[in-house]
Amino acid sequence: MERLQKKIANLGYCSRRKAEELIVKGEVLVNGKVVTKLGTTVKQTDVITVEGNILDNSKSYEYYLLNKPRGVVTTTSDEKGRKTVLDIVKTNSRIYPVGRLDYDTTGILLLTNDGNLANLLMQPNSLVEKTYIVKVEGIVSIADIQKLRYGIVIDGIKTKKAKVKIKSVDKVKKKSIIEVTIHEGKNHQIKKMFANLGYRVIKLRRERYANLDLKGLKPGEYRILTVKEVKTLYGLCKK
């Protein structure tokens, strides 16, 4: 038995939170009957219909790694008509991005219809590491590097310890390139961490996500994850 909203998310229809909204609105049927109670549990043999769509319990999961380019939004649709990550990754399955990258941020982004893995990766207490290459205005001091390593207060909450090192410094143009590895995923976290110390982020690229990197992928290109890579992600989530 499994909670209805979790089942809907795991089948890749939408996020668990969105599934809860649809249940409360009466948009979900189980075996032909409308269900509005969030505590409802379902069996593998139950027929679930969401917004008129019958979900396929036998569906296979798909996993994609995209090198997200600038000027693309990390969402399934955009009211402003901007290009989304789903316009790049071609599949007939209903996939969605795991987490978000800002409009002007580039780099690794995972997309899948495996709601269980997506939820595990996005949990606040997840220990999955994400590495960013950050270009900022100004010469970042050693003292500020230490502050970044031990936590910066953003939105009233101190960030957890991070791995931070200087990649290069241009004293003439007064620019610094810093590598930062975190395992949190707060909204605009990297930009806010540097802004708190008085540095403006000029470019931001996510270079690594857990066991995955951008090797062989140009901006706008993507590939399917291997079975081994998916198993490794699950293993990291369980640690």
CATH topology of domain 63-124+212-238: Alpha-Beta Plaits (3.30.70)
Is the pLDDT at 59 greater than 70? The verdict is no
Is the pLDDT at 60 greater than 80? The verdict is no
pLDDT for 239 equals 61
pLDDT for 26 equals 94
CA quadruple 98, 112, 45, 235: dihedral sign? negative
Q: Band of the pLDDT at 184, cuts 50, 70, 90?
A: confident
CATH topology of domain 130-209: Alpha-Beta Plaits (3.30.70)
For 22-49, what is the mean pLDDT?
Answer: 91
Indicate if 102 belongs to the active site: yes
Q: Could you state, in order of their start, the residue ranges of all structural domains in the chain?
A: 2-54, 63-124+212-238, 130-209
In three state form, how does the secondary structure of the chain look? CEEHHHHHHHCCCCCHHHHHHHHHCCCEEECCEECCCCCCEECCCCCEEECCEECCCCCCCCEEEEEECCCCECCCCCCCCCCEHHHCCCCCCCCEECCCCCCCCEEEEEEECCHHHHHHHHCCCCCCCEEEEEEEECCCCHHHHHHHHHCCEECCEECCCCEEEEEEEECCCCEEEEEEEECCCCCCHHHHHHHHCCCCEEEEEEEEECCEECCCCCCCCEEECCHHHHHHHHHHHHC
Q: Do domains 63-124+212-238 and 130-209 have the same CATH topology?
A: yes
Is the pLDDT at 58 greater than 80? The verdict is no
| Domain 2-54 bears CATH identifier 3.10.290.10 | yes
Catalytic residue among 102, 104, 114, 155: 102
